[in-house]
C-alpha cells in the first residue's frame, strides 16, 4: 500500500464504487471522500492568524451565487468577509461521452455565477474520470482524455491584472485521470500532460496552486502557509 495520502483516498473510492456503484454515486459517498481529503489539505495550511480571525474550511456550505444559492463542495470562509476560496468537485465514472459536454456547460455556468458575486475569491475545480471505465459492462468504452484535458485547460488559469473582470475561467483546475485497475489506483497525470504539456492540471499540486494564487493576490493577509513552508 502506498504511503501517499491521495493514493489511500483513491483506494477507498475504488472500494466504495466496486461494492455498490449506484449507491456510491447517488449517495455521493464516492466523491465526498475526495471532498474531505481536499478540505483537510487546505485546513492544514491555515495559519494561526487565519484561525484567530475565525477563518474556517467548510464542506457543503451554502454560498449565494449571482442568481441562486449553491452548495459548494469545499470553501474557505471568513466570518465577516465571506468566501475566500471555493472548490467544486465532480466525478464521472460512466456515460462519459453522453454527459461530458452537459457537465462542462454546468461547471462553466457555476464559475460565472460565483465570480459575479465574489470576483476576488480564488475559485477552483477538480474533475475525476477513470482511465478506463470500471462499471460492469462498460469496460471497453473509450474515453478521449486528450480531448477532455484540452477542454478543461481552456477554462483554467484566470490571471493578469484584470483577473477580477474575467468570468467563466477558473483560477486553478485539476483533471484527475485515475487507473482504478491498479492496486492502489494510480493518478495518470502523464495522460493529461501529453495533451496539455504547458499547463499543470494535477490534483497533487491543486491545493498548493490555489494557495499560491491566493497569497499572490492578498499580500496583506497571512492566512495560508506558503508552498515551501
Q: Cell numbers of 79, please?
A: 466570518
Task: Give the pLDDT confidence of 199-215 residue by residue, as tens digits.
Answer: 999 999 999 999 999 99
Task: Give the pLDDT confidence of 93-144 residue by residue, as tens digits.
Answer: 877 878 889 999 999 999 999 999 999 999 999 999 999 877 666 666 788 9
pTM exceeds 0.85, yes or no: yes
Question: Which residues make beta-bridge pairs with 63?
Answer: 70
- The DSSP annotation for 163-217 comes to GGG--S-BSEEEEEEEETTSSS-EE-HHHHHHH-TTS---TTTHHHHHHHHHHHH
Helix 29-43 and helix 206-217, axial crossing angle in degrees, nearest 10: 50
pLDDT exceeds cutoff 60 at 59: yes
pLDDT exceeds cutoff 70 at 229: no
Place of cell 490534483: 203
pLDDT exceeds cutoff 60 at 1: no
Amino acid at each position: 500500500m502506498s504511503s501517499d495520502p491521495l493514493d489511500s483516498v483513491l483506494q477507498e473510492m475504488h472500494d466504495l464504487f466496486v461494492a455498490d456503484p449506484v449507491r456510491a454515486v447517488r449517495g455521493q459517498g464516492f466523491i465526498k471522500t475526495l471532498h474531505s481529503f481536499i478540505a483537510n489539505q487546505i485546513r492544514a495550511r491555515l495559519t494561526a492568524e487565519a484561525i484567530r480571525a475565525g477563518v474556517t474550511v467548510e464542506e457543503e456550505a451554502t454560498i449565494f451565487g449571482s442568481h441562486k444559492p449553491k452548495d459548494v463542495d469545499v470553501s474557505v470562509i471568513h466570518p465577516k468577509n465571506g468566501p475566500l476560496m471555493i472548490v467544486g468537485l465532480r466525478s464521472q465514472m460512466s456515460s462519459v461521452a453522453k454527459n461530458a459536454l452537459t457537465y462542462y456547460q454546468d461547471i462553466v455556468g457555476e464559475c460565472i455565477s460565483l465570480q459575479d458575486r465574489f470576483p476576488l475569491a480564488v475559485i477552483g475545480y477538480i474533475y475525476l474520470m477513470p482511465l478506463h471505465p470500471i462499471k460492469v459492462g462498460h469496460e471497453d468504452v473509450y474515453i478521449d482524455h486528450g480531448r477532455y484535458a484540452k477542454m478543461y485547460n481552456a477554462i483554467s488559469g484566470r490571471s493578469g491584472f484584470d483577473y477580477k473582470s474575467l468570468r467563466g475561467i477558473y483560477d486553478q483546475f485539476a483533471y484527475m485521470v485515475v487507473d482504478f485497475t491498479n492496486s492502489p489506483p494510480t493518478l495518470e497525470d502523464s495522460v493529461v500532460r501529453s495533451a496539455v504539456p504547458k499547463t499543470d492540471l494535477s490534483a497533487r499540486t491543486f491545493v498548493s496552486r490555489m494557495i499560491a494564487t491566493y497569497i499572490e493576490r492578498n499580500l496583506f493577509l497571512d492566512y495560508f502557509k506558503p508552498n515551501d513552508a
